């Protein structure tokens, strides 16, 4: 598995998923400035993955309901 370190698409999508504090928006848009920011960005990425999984499950459930009708 290779990691694309310059891939920021998740950050743009995460900004649209929910409202964020201004400092979080800055971090997502500008990137980390130090160790603390990098740690927080990692935590935000984990939150994004969790929310993305929930959204995908809800979308799948909705599609299955529509197929049954």
Indicate whether 4 belongs to any domain: no
Please work out, in degrees rounded to the nearest 5, the angle formed at the alpha carbon of residue 33 by the alpha carbons of 50 and 4: 50
pLDDT of residue 4: 62
Indicate whether 1 belongs to any domain: no
d(CA 14, CA 47): 9
d(CA 45, CA 30): 15
Number of domains, the chain: 1
Question: Sorting pLDDT into bands at 50, 70 and 90, what band is 3?
Answer: low
Indicate whether 61 belongs to any domain: yes
pLDDT greater at residue 24 or residue 7: 24
Indicate whether 39 belongs to any domain: yes
Indicate whether 46 belongs to any domain: yes
Indicate whether 29 belongs to any domain: yes
Indicate whether 49 belongs to any domain: yes
Mean per-residue pLDDT for 20-31? 96
Helix (H, G, I), strand (E, B) or coil at 8: coil
Mean per-residue pLDDT for 8-33? 94
* Domain containing residue 49: 9-68
Indicate whether 53 belongs to any domain: yes
């Amino acid at each position: 598995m290779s990691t694309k370190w310059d891939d920021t698409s998740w950050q743009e999508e995460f900004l649209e998923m929910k409202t964020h504090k201004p400092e979080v928006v800055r971090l997502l848009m500008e990137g980390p400035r130090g160790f603390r920011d990098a740690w927080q960005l990692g935590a935000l990425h984990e939150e994004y993955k969790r929310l993305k999984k929930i959204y995908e499950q809800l979308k799948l459930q909705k599609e299955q309901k529509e197929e049954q009708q």
